[in-house]
Amino acid sequence: DSGVTQTPKHLITATGQRVTLRCSPRSGDLSVYWYQQSLDQGLQFLIQYYNGEERAKGNILERFSAQQFPDLHSELNLSSLELGDSALYFCASSAQGGNYGYTFGSGTRLTVV
Amino acid sequence: QQQVKQSPQSLIVQKGGISIINCAYENTAFDYFPWYQQFPGKGPALLIAIRPDVSEKKEGRFTISFNKSAKQFSLHIMDSQPGDSATYFCAALRFSGGYNKLIFGAGTRLAVHP
pLDDT, tens digit (0-9, with 9 covering 90-100), for A103-113: 999 999 999 99
Task: Indicate whether B9 pLDDT > 70.
Answer: yes
What chain A residue is nearest to B103 in terms of C-alpha separation? A45
Within 8 A of A55 by CB-CB distance, chain B residues are 98-100
Are the CB atoms for B113 and B14 separated by under 8 Å?
yes
B109 CA: distance to closest CA in chain A (Å): 9
Average pLDDT, chain A: 92
Q: For residue B26, which of B53, B1, B46, B55 has the smallest C-alpha distance?
A: B1
Within 8 A of B95 by CB-CB distance, chain A residues are 97-99
Within 8 A of A94 by CB-CB distance, chain B residues are 100
User: Would you call A2 and B43 a contact, using CB atoms and an 8 Å cutoff?
Assistant: yes
Give the pLDDT confidence of B25-83 residue by residue, as tens digits: 987 788 889 999 999 888 999 999 999 999 999 999 999 999 999 999 999 999 999 99
Backbone angles phi, psi at B35, to 5 degrees: -115, 140
Least confident of A7-11, A62-66, A80-84, B103-107: B103-107
Are the CB atoms for A104 and A94 separated by under 8 Å?
no
B71: left (phi over 0), alpha (psi -120 to 50) or beta: left
What is the number of other CB atoms lying within 10 angstroms of the CB of residue B113?
11
What chain B residue is nearest to A107 in terms of C-alpha separation? B43
User: Would you call B32 and A99 a contact, using CB atoms and an 8 Å cutoff?
Assistant: yes
Within 8 A of A103 by CB-CB distance, chain B residues are 46
Backbone angles phi, psi at A97, to 5 degrees: 90, -20
